[in-house]
Amino acid sequence: MSNFPYFIQNNDLAGKDVTVLGLGKFGGGVATVRFLTERGARVTVIDAKSAEALQESLKQLENCSDVIFQLGDQSAELPNTQLLVANPAIPPDHGLLRNAALQQIPITSEIELFWQLNPGRVIGVTGSNGKSTTTAMIHSILKAAGHRCWLGGNIGISLLPELDQIQSEDWVVLELSSFQLEALNRIQASPQIAVVTNFSPNHLDWHQNLEHYRQSKQTILRWQTESDVAVLNQDDPELQTWRTAGSILTFGTHSDLSPDLLVDQNRFLLKDQSEILTRELHVPGAHNRCNAAAAILACRAAGIAVPELKLGLESFRGLPHRLEFVGEYQLRKFYNDSLATTPESAICALDAFQETPVILLAGGSDKQVDLSEFAHRFRNQTKATALMGQTGKLMFDSLSESQGSDQKYGAVISQPHTSFENAFRWAFQQSSPGDVILLSPGCASYDWFSSFVARGERFTALFQRLSACDGSD
């Protein structure tokens, strides 16, 4: 990335030539273009995708005048520009980023612009798995406690349009990806309350190596001050070594490590109090109890009292595409966990159904992470697994001919399917009454779908079609 960060002033975008690299489909690029044009910038948008692929985003920008679009553009030459605003998913070795660095053109991003202008207090959440759910839980607790709070970041919501409404006493809860944190390192920014759910290899296709990924993630702590707080998972050996200038609160499942919050079955035990929750959460799985523990400590650091913590957790119903209950048909329960884009998160989903036979849909685009443990787990924990996408073949080839001695159900593993519909149909054919049919791919969606959202919506649509027409196709 460029060594030339951009530090925004109130009106310094007026009349400036600005290039937006990567419009995208999920609101961040659209919000950025609107933000820039409203402040008088002359905007050029460059995206390698075609106008057809970006039609939903383009429709939202129909009222933005004087925006130049260069779509389907693979050029490494920048137009005449004074500032480059890069989509966080743009890889650091992209030709236009290198071009900007050579020309000493400042580079920024949607999250950097928001961060510099945001008057509110920030709770930032990162981790290789569980960050979306934890972010949403924190927001739920703060709302239940009557606080003005805002939800945004990598969870899919840009808060640039809300800047004028955010007040200094508000809490802004942000899910922060490694890409966004890499950008925030440019302006030396960390949140007042930083939450790290866990750490495992991810996005190595973007980061190139594990150390770069680690360094990006550690940005969430790197620039904290003595008055700030970090909430860390004490069960994770990697996180036991992470440090901050502020104070550290820990959560975990091992009493011998003496965490600040102990996850004990369905109870959460604070060091300074008795249990604060005995009722089962509305979202299943041991991993979600750890997510809840992280949310509890973050909200405690924000001054939330125990009764309000209870209320917020009990009102949380989960996120779309994260172990989302889709419905039941012929005594089979269907769950959409399309947001599980890492093998670790998919393994957590499997563990949430240890007492129930699972028919799994797994696989997707290749992020160059190790899938061997995931393959081992679904071979030994599922009744059947429908493999899909680029990684479907990789995982099928990785499985030894021996089915292993610890198989629970004698899993049937499919050859990689050629379409999502075929994988869904095969999964239903393998199921029996009482089974769970689970979409938890453990991989990104980009080989077949534009996003995990589109993948999850397709799963839901196929369920609806199945239940509406009595299984005929």
**One-character DSSP codes across 236-291:** -TTGGG---SSEEEEEES-GGG--SEEEETTEEEETTSSBS--SPPSS-SHHHHHH
Per residue in 57-108, pLDDT (tens digit) is 899 999 887 899 999 977 778 889 999 999 988 888 889 999 999 999 999 9
Residues 86 and 131 in one domain: no
Residue 194 has pLDDT above 80, yes or no: yes
What gap in Å lies between CA 401 and CA 380, rounded to an integer?
Answer: 13
3 in a structural domain: no
Within 293-341, strands assigned E span: 324-329, 332-336
Whether 462 and 359 share a structural domain:
yes
Whether 471 has a pLDDT exceeding 60, the answer reads no
One domain, residues 82 and 125: no
Q: Is the same domain home to 234 and 275?
A: yes
Asked whether 21 and 90 are in contact (CB, 8 A), the reply is yes
Alpha-helical runs (H) found in 382-451? 389-398, 420-430
Residue 85, domain CATH: 3.40.50.720
Residue 307 lies in a domain: yes
- Residue pair 79/56 in contact by the 8 Å Cβ criterion: no
The tens digit of pLDDT for each residue in 108-126 reads 999 999 999 999 999 999 9
Q: Please, are residues 186 and 5 in contact by the beta-carbon 8 Å criterion?
A: yes
CATH of the domain at 161: 3.40.1190.10
The most confident of the ranges 92-106, 231-245, 272-286 is 231-245
Q: Are strands 358-362 and 384-387 parallel, antiparallel or unpaired?
A: parallel
Name the pairing type of β-strands 261-264 and 267-270. Answer: antiparallel
pLDDT at 472: 42
pLDDT at 156: 77
Half-sphere exposure of 45 (CA within 13 A, CB side): 29
Judged by DSSP in three states, 123 sits in: strand
Q: Which of 50, 79, 108 represents a domain boundary (last residue)?
A: 108
Pair 82, 117 in one domain: no
Do 416 and 376 lie in one domain? The reply is: yes
Within 10 Å of residue 292's Cβ, how many Cβ atoms? 27
Instruction: Work out the mean pLDDT of the chain and round it to a whole number.
Output: 90
DSSP annotation of 5 reads: B
Where is the domain boundary, 289, 314, 339? 314
How many domains is the chain partitioned into structurally?
3
Q: How many CB atoms lie within 10 A of CB 282?
A: 13
pLDDT in tens, 404-455: 545 666 789 999 999 999 999 999 999 999 999 999 999 999 889 988 999 9
Q: Is residue 73 domain-shared with residue 121, that is, in the same domain?
A: no
Q: Dump the DSSP string for 136-203.
A: HHHHHHHHHTT--EEEEETTTB--GGGTTT--TT-EEEEE--HHHHHHHHHTT---SEEEE-------
Report the pLDDT averaged over residues 259-263: 95
Do 146 and 78 sit in the same domain of this protein?
A: no
Among 9-23, 72-86, 168-182, 305-319, the range of highest mean pLDDT: 168-182
Do residue 381 and residue 413 come from a single domain?
yes
Distance, CA of 68 to chain centre:
31
Residue 33 included in any domain: yes
Can you give the pLDDT at residue 1? 45
Same domain, 412 and 299: no
What's the residue count for the chain? 473
* 102 occurs within a structural domain: yes
Domain contains 117: yes
**Last residue in a domain, options 265, 284, 314:** 314
Task: Assess whether 181 and 223 both reside in one domain.
Answer: yes
pLDDT of residue 278: 61
**Helical pair 210-217 and 178-186, crossing angle rounded to 10 deg:** 70
Tell me if 5 is assigned to some domain.
Answer: no
CATH (domain of 446): 3.90.190.20
- Of 449, 206, 436, nearest to 326 by C-alpha is 436
Share of the chain above pLDDT 90, in %: 66
Give the residue numbers spanning the domain of 48. 17-108
**83-86 β-sheet, strand order:** 68-71, 42-47, 17-21, 83-86, 107-108
Task: Assign 358 to helix, strand or coil.
Answer: strand
The answer to whether residue 11 sits within a structural domain is no
List Cβ neighbours of 441 (8 Å cut-off, separation of 6 or more): 338, 340, 341, 346, 361, 362, 363, 364, 388, 389, 455
Query: How far apart are alpha carbons 439 and 340 in whole angstroms?
Result: 9
Q: Which two tokens stand for residue 406?
A: 């610890």
* 341-354 pLDDT per residue, tens: 989 889 989 998 98
Q: Is there a domain that residue 10 lies in?
A: no
Interval 222-233: pLDDT, tens: 999 999 999 999
Same domain, 377 and 464: yes
Query: Average pLDDT for residues 458-468, to the nearest whole number?
Result: 95
pLDDT at 12: 85
What is the band of 10 on the pLDDT scale with cuts at 50, 70, 90? low
